[in-house]
Amino acid sequence: MSKINTDAGMPIAITLDPGTYYRCSCGQSQNLPFCDGSHSAAEHMPIEFKITARQKVYLCSCGKTGKAPYCDGTCGVKM
Ligand code: FES
């Protein structure tokens, strides 16, 4: 996953309803952690993910995860 917000270093815990979501990866969105279309044609495109049942998820905010858009603990946070 590309760099999002290295100042954060913590996953974003959020409960989502079923649907398709787009995680911002450029950091320019005014609707973080979701994409609002602010990205240019740059290298950082939004990451699409689907939720099939209402659930709490942990979205990576450090940009180091290997399981984007989800935190995989690379940041050091144990879940
Ligand atoms: S916030 Fe990025 S791996 Fe946990």
Q: What is the pLDDT of residue 78?
A: 82
Q: What is the pLDDT of residue 44?
A: 82
Residue 77 Cβ contacting ligand 1 at under 6 Å: yes
Q: What is the pLDDT of residue 6?
A: 46
- Of residues 7 and 29, the one with the higher pLDDT is 29
Q: Output the pTM of the full model.
A: 0.83
Residue 72 Cβ contacting ligand 1 at under 6 Å: yes
pLDDT digits (tens, 9 = 90+) for 10-65: 899 999 999 999 999 888 899 999 999 988 766 788 999 999 999 999 999 998 99
* CA of residue 13 to ligand 1 center, whole Å: 11
Residues in the chain: 79
For the CA of 12, the closest atom of ligand 1 is 1
Q: What is the pLDDT of residue 41?
A: 66
Q: Report the C-alpha gap between 78 and 53 in whole angstroms.
A: 23
Residue 24 Cβ contacting ligand 1 at under 6 Å: no
Phi-psi region of 19 (alpha: psi -120 to 50; beta: other; left: phi over 0): left
